[in-house]
Amino acid sequence: MQKQDISFGPRTQDGVKAWETSMTLAAMPRGPDISFCQYIYDRISQANQTPPLASLTEAQAQELAPGASWSIA
C-alpha cells in the first residue's frame, strides 16, 4: 500500500501484473538458502543457478503437507 500512496499505483494493466507478481515473489518464503534478491538476480542475469519457482513451491508444499488435515484415516 505504501507504493500506491507515493506513486498513486501502477498506471497500466502490465504495471498491475508486474507489481502483483513482484509482491507475490517477495512474500513467498524460500528457506534459508535462497533470498528474494538472489532469486531475482538469478533470473534477470539468466544464470539459472536457482531452481525454478514451480519446483521450489512444490517442494515447500510437500514439506508443509497442507492437505494432510483433509486426509481420511
Residue 28 lies in a domain: yes
pLDDT of residue 25: 77
Residue 62 predicted with pLDDT over 60? yes
pLDDT of residue 21: 81
Q: How many domains does the chain have?
A: 1
Residue 61 predicted with pLDDT over 80? no
Residue 29 lies in a domain: yes
Q: Which domain holds residue 14?
A: 2-58
Residue 69 lies in a domain: no
pLDDT tens-digit map of 2-56: 555 556 667 888 988 888 888 887 776 666 567 888 888 888 999 988 888 778 7
Rounded to an integer, what distance in angstroms lies between the CA atom of residue 54 and that of residue 20?
Answer: 17
Residue 65 lies in a domain: no
Are the C-beta atoms of 15 and 21 separated by less than 8 Å? no
Q: Give the position of cell 538472489.
A: 38
Q: Is the pTM of this model over 0.75?
A: no
Rounded to an integer, what distance in angstroms lies between the CA atom of residue 33 and that of residue 2?
Answer: 29
Residues 6+ apart with CB under 8 A from 18: 10
